[in-house]
Structure formats: C-alpha cells, structure tokens
Structure 1
Amino acid sequence: MSIRGVELIKAMNHYAPPSLAVDNDRIGLQVGDPEAEVKGVLVTLDVNEEVVDEAIQRNANWIIAHHAVIFHPLKAVRTDQPAGRMFAKLLKHDINVYVAHTNLDAADEGVNVVLAEKLGLQHLRVLISYREEKLKKLVVTVPVSHHEQVLDAVCAAGAGWIGKYSHCTFNVEGTGTFMPREGTSPFIGQQGELEKVQEIRLETILPDHLQEQVIQAMLAAHPYEEVAYDLYPLELKGKKLGFGRIGQLPEQTTLLDFARTVKQSYQLDGLKAVGEWSNPVRRVAILGGSGGRYIHEAKQAGADVYITGDIDYHTAQEAEAIGLNLLDVGHHVEHHVVDRVRHILQRQLGEAVSVFASRVNTNPFRFIGG
C-alpha cells in the first residue's frame, strides 16, 4: 500500500510539531509536492548534492532534513553553480524536501534529548523556554457500551496526560436524549422516536497541537453517526516548550574526564574546552547547534558545564569570566538525531515505505592531531 507526502508530513508533524518552531523559522515542505507518492525516505542533517545523489541511488524521493535547503531568499538558480545544480537535480528526479529545524530541536525526542541521552543525563528539563504548551479540555458523551473503547482511543492519540500520569480522565454517568430524523442511520433508536440512552460524560485534557489526531481517534472509536462533543481552551498552562536541555550526571566528575566522555559518546575527532580540567562537573546543559548566545542562561540554570557549538573567541572569554565551563562540540554533532528520526518515522509509517539514514558526512571541518 502506497502513501502520499501528506501522510509522511503528518507523521513528522506528530513527532516534531511545527508549533514548537521559533517564529519565522524555515521549516516544512521546501521542495516538491505534498501529494507526491512516497517511494522512499532519506533522513539527513543537511542537504547537498552528494546527499541528493544518495537519495537517487536509494530510490528515495523524499528527503527529511534538519537544516533548511532554502534559508535565504533565492536570487537565482544557476545550474553552473553548486546550489543551482542541486536544485536542478532535485526537480529532475522529483525529489521532495521537508525540513524540521527548531521544532526538531525542541521535540521530546529531538536533537537535544538525543544528545543528553547519549551522556546518560537524568532529570532533564528545558534549558531555553520560549513558550508554554496550550491545553484544551475535550468533553464527549459516549454510550456505556463503548466508553472504554473511546477512552482508550483518545488516550492512545495523546490526550489524558498530566505530568507523568497518563489516562487522566473524569467520567460521570447520565441520560442522553435524541430523536433520529429522516435521512439518519442511528446506531441506537428508530427514526421519529425519542431515544433515552445511558451515557458517560468523558472529560480529558489534551495539548493544542494534538487536537486533530485526538478528535479523529475519538470519532473513529465512537459508535454514533453524529457525535456530541465540546472543546474548551484552558487557562491552565502546559509544560514549558523550548530548545536545549539541562540535566544531571549520575556522579560528579572532572571537566577533563567529562570532556573525554563527550568526545567518545559523540564520536568526535576533537573538541574545544573552556575551564580548568580539574573543575567539578555534575550538572550539564546542552544545546545542539550554535548556542553561544545562551551562556548566561546556562549559568543561571546552574550548569557546571555547557555543551554547544560554534563558540567564538570572545564568547569563550566571557564564559571563563563568569565561571562557566564550556565544551564546543561543533555544529555537526546534531547529526546524532538522524537515526532517531529514521526509527520514529519507520515505526509510524510501518512497512509501507523504507526510511534510510544518510551515510554522507556533511561536516565541513576536519581535525589534525599533534
């Protein structure tokens, strides 16, 4: 059974909701047709001509990338230059490109969570919060016979979470009335006769970005031809959303030993450090990509060390002055999320399509030992 691009995009939006992205970020479908059939999917950090060639070789007509293939407005598409050749090849081979950037940074299984897990950090929380999750309450009446079925369906779709507790609902039994009219095909009752049914009023909470899939799951599980339900916006604030994570190591170590652990865990050829090698490290902040402008937030959050990339000379001096240890692991370290994206997409799409992790190394930097 084939799937279309809209279904792949829906799967990505479930994993890394666009609502998590910062304003004006370049995300979403950047090249191609959302209705195009998905023959294969290649997941990559960056898109360049070598990655496009890999997609062609693997018969993958969809590329899921973290970094935008169109970031600045295009002034020209010249096929005698690298960028133009790449776009021409994408269009010639009907390859579609979808981008998840800061929404993938902020996702629950996104870039920063993957990087934190590789170091064994515990008690993770958001480092840089830029909004709070909007919540809604769903209220639906269900005949007693189908109550458990509907409850399980909406909770499986993402409703009913309060903190680390799932299946949080409130249920009260009552009597529902309705009269099927001409043209109806009622699950219970007869046309023209007032029907009284023992029903359960089911109430639960859901995050705004999951509204569509929760409602669809509820409607699919509900037996009625016309389902009575309400959605209420809540003043209650949900969890903090944002990028970066801060957590704790199981045991205290030194900056030198921790730097060695980071180098090995991230499979780095080298990294840069700021701070005395003997400095104690237990609380760790991580922000994949370019996070130099957040050194003060990391310090205020109580981090002993801050892991990020693209640290410039003056930022390093400032971190040293405020007593914050730094590890610059480079921007390309974000590539560790590629396998997680591949795994999640393959799980969501099933056997309908193959999902591949790119093998192309798009890191422009090389290291030479002394």
Structure 2
Amino acid sequence: MIIQDVINYLEELAPLNYAEDFDNVGLLVGDKTKPLTGVLVTLDTLEDVVEEAIENNCNLIVSFHPIIFKGLKSLTGKDYVERTVLKAIKNNIAIYAIHTALDNALLGVNHMISEKLGLTNKQILIPQKSTIKKLTTFVPNAEISKVRNALFAAGAGSIGNYSNCSFNIEGYGTFMGNDNANPTIGNKNETHTEAETQITVIFEKHKQNQILKALFNSHSYEEVAYDIVTLDNKNQEIGIGMIGELKKEMSESNFLDFVKTNMKTECIRHSAFLGKPIKKVAVLGGSGSFAINAAKAQKADAYITADLKYHDFFSANNQILLADIGHFESEQFTKNLLTAYLTKKITNFAVVLSKTNTNPVNYF
C-alpha cells in the first residue's frame, strides 16, 4: 500500500471538491507514491505531532486542520509552521489535511457532534450550492442498456434513496463525417440518420471525470455528443452544519450541562435564556457565526458552535439559545471519527490516534 491509497479512502469520505474556496486541503507535504508505514491521525499538525509520528513509525499524518494555510515564502524555521514542515520533510513524513471537505461531508465533523449529543432526524443545516450536475447524451438504440448501465455503475443517476434514475426520449440524430472521420455507423461525407435515445442523468460534481470516462468507454461513436449543466437543486448530503432533535426536550440549563458533559468542554459562553425548552438543535463545528440566521430560519431552539464574537450574541434576538463551546472542543472528536474510518478501511497497517493535545487555548 502507498500513501495515495489512504488518500483515496479519505476522499471517498470527504471529496476535496466540496472544501471551501478559502481552504488549503489535500496532500500538503510529501510524496504520495511512497510506500506506507503507518498513519497518525490528529486535529492539528505541530512539531510534537511529527515527533509522535516518528515514534510510531508513521510516515503519513492525516490532519484535520492544514498546517500550511497561507503560502510559505521561506522555510527557515522562524515560526511553528515552518519548523513543523521542515521536521516532516527531514523525516520523510507526508501531511494530508482534510478540513472543510470533512466539514461539508454528510458523515463528517457535524455528524460526529450530532452523534455525541444523540440527535435524531438529522439533516444538513446549509446545503452547499452547485454540487449537482446533469448529463444529457445521445445513444444509438442498440446501445441504450450498455451506456446507461455504465453511467449508473460510475455513480450517475442517484437521487436520495433511489439509484439508477434516468429520463429517456427516443428520436433521430443526424451527422456526417468528413475525410478524417472514422464513423462506426454510416459513411464519410454522407449525412446519416440514426434512431437514438436521449439519456439524461444527474450526478454529484466530484464524480464527473469517472462518469465521462464511463460514457466514452461504453459509447461506440467516435465523437460522443453530450452536454453537462450545473443545477440549483439542493443536495441534502453535502453541506455545512447539521440540525436534529434531542430524544427528550430539556430545560436550557439542563441542556447546557448536557452539552458540557458530552462535548467535554471547560465552559460554555451563551446568549440569554429564553425560558423555553430545548428540543431542536443545530450544530456547526469550528467558527460558525455565519450560520446563526440559518439555524433561526430552521426554527432551532439552540445552536452550538464556536468563536462567536461579542456582537454575535445579539443575533440571538430572543429567538434562539446560542452556545459557544470552544473551537477545539467542537472539533476534538474529529480525529476519532477519522481513526475509526481508516481502521475499517486499512487492516494491515497501523492507524494511530494522536495523543498530543493540540488545543492552544488554556482556561484559568
């Protein structure tokens, strides 16, 4: 097994296509073709984490946060970022960051928080836009099943709980090849009319390359006619944040005690109590002030996130209980999620859960 094999597994869980534009995800340091010796999973990559990887004979660090966020103009070891990168390079250790790709994954960061809180009826809080595409192509009637099944096998035609979804219209296509053409049907320099079926399927954008490859490999035409458009349809399986319901409603004070215990946080900063029970809860790991209005719009009783500023708490506007549990605290179980996932995928290599506490915030 090589490092790229682990990357392939990670991108099945959280395709990088869905990471936010501002982010820096993927393989940040190292050679993806190197044989794998072991994987260390961490929330942050620091010098101590690289040392931990060395001690555990792991030449790949899978990190939630990227150690390189902005461009590096030098590598002199003047700060913790440069020192960490230099140490990884010196010891032939690769670093892969997954960050907002996992934030936007259905079974990612916010799913983990929801599980810790025992939420039911979970849904994405803010579905990511422009993640669904539609392919239309034209196929000779004799090849309909072959091409359509190839598209389905490549991942096209899935809508929620349904698969193998397509729409088909019969008609006639015309074409004429020139002297350089090599037509599989008809003759050069003669207009040919062929009974064809128009096939339309939708797919998630990260599957586009594999779906086009399946189309070209299964279609007999030298030049395959097709078009792809991006849809505005909501995709309830890709997006940031999550909203669900507690198994039993709680008072506001009991709810915050419950969150404090289950999320293992030292303290919770919160907006004013409203004197109403908590049942419907929205969550978003990391900095989540931008989603306050989305939580209110979906009638959440409480919204759990981190990094709220002074004026953000006014946004509660007597409509919702806002709870800032801390950035590290909201994301701390992410490395457990990744370790469990990779352990199931990789049975013959060590997947090590980092023991290094990377939280830069201390409480007095």
The 8 Å contact of residues 134 and 200 in structure 2, kept in 1 or not, is answered as no
- Give the Cα separation in 2 of the matches to 1:130 and 1:145: 35
Q: 2:357 aligns to what SS in structure 1?
A: coil
Cα gap change, 1:41 to 1:231, in 2 (>3 Å): farther
Deviates further, 72-81 or 48-57:
72-81
Cα gap change, 1:321 to 1:101, in 2 (>3 Å): same
Q: TM-score, normalised by structure 2?
A: 0.78
| 2:125 aligned partner, one-letter code | L
The 8 Å contact of residues 60 and 96 in structure 2, kept in 1 or not, is answered as yes
Structure 1 residue 137, shift from structure 2 partner: 2.8
Which of 33, 40, 43 is the matching residue for 1:42?
40
- Give the Cα separation in 2 of the matches to 1:341 and 1:143: 46
Cα gap change, 1:317 to 1:337, in 2 (>3 Å): closer
Structure 1 residue 210, shift from structure 2 partner: 1.2
> Equivalences for 1:328-339 in 2 at 5 Å?
328-332=324-328, 333-339=330-336
When the two chains are superposed, the root-mean-square deviation of aligned CA atoms in Å is: 4.3
Aligned to 2:31: 33
The 8 Å contact of residues 31 and 98 in structure 1, kept in 2 or not, is answered as yes
Q: TM-score, normalised by structure 1?
A: 0.77
Cα gap change, 1:173 to 1:99, in 2 (>3 Å): same
The 8 Å contact of residues 292 and 315 in structure 1, kept in 2 or not, is answered as no
Structure 1 residue 273, shift from structure 2 partner: 4.1
- Structure 1: any 5+ residue segments left out of the alignment? 175-198
Query: How many residue pairs align between the two structures?
Result: 358
| 1:160 aligned partner, one-letter code | G
Report percent identity of matched pairs. Answer: 34
Q: 2:239 aligns to what SS in structure 1?
A: strand
The 8 Å contact of residues 265 and 326 in structure 2, kept in 1 or not, is answered as no
The 8 Å contact of residues 207 and 238 in structure 1, kept in 2 or not, is answered as no
Cα gap change, 1:76 to 1:354, in 2 (>3 Å): same
> Equivalences for 1:1-370 in 2 at 5 Å?
2-5=1-4, 7-79=5-77, 82-137=80-135, 155=152, 157-169=154-166, 204-214=201-211, 230=226, 232-233=228-229, 235=231, 237-239=233-235, 241-266=238-263, 268-274=264-270, 275-276=272-273, 278-312=275-309, 314-315=310-311, 317-319=313-315, 321-332=317-328, 333-347=330-344, 349-351=345-347, 353-367=349-363
The 8 Å contact of residues 76 and 82 in structure 2, kept in 1 or not, is answered as yes
- Give the Cα separation in 2 of the matches to 1:239 and 1:9: 24
- Give the Cα separation in 2 of the matches to 1:102 and 1:350: 23
Cα gap change, 1:279 to 1:340, in 2 (>3 Å): same
The 8 Å contact of residues 138 and 198 in structure 2, kept in 1 or not, is answered as yes
| 1:335 aligned partner, one-letter code | Q
Q: 1:212 aligns to what SS in structure 2?
A: helix
The 8 Å contact of residues 61 and 95 in structure 2, kept in 1 or not, is answered as yes
Cα gap change, 1:80 to 1:34, in 2 (>3 Å): same
Aligned to 2:189: none
Structure 1 residue 119, shift from structure 2 partner: 1.7
The 8 Å contact of residues 273 and 327 in structure 1, kept in 2 or not, is answered as yes
Q: 1:88 aligns to what SS in structure 2?
A: helix
Cα gap change, 1:145 to 1:139, in 2 (>3 Å): closer
Deviations 1:257-309 (A, max 9, x none): 2222222322x142314232843111211111011343333223322111011
Structure 1 residue 46, shift from structure 2 partner: 0.6
Cα gap change, 1:157 to 1:51, in 2 (>3 Å): farther
Q: 2:334 aligns to what SS in structure 1?
A: helix
- Give the Cα separation in 2 of the matches to 1:152 and 1:270: 54
Structure 1 residue 58, shift from structure 2 partner: 1.8
| 1:119 aligned partner, one-letter code | L
| 2:2 aligned partner, one-letter code | I
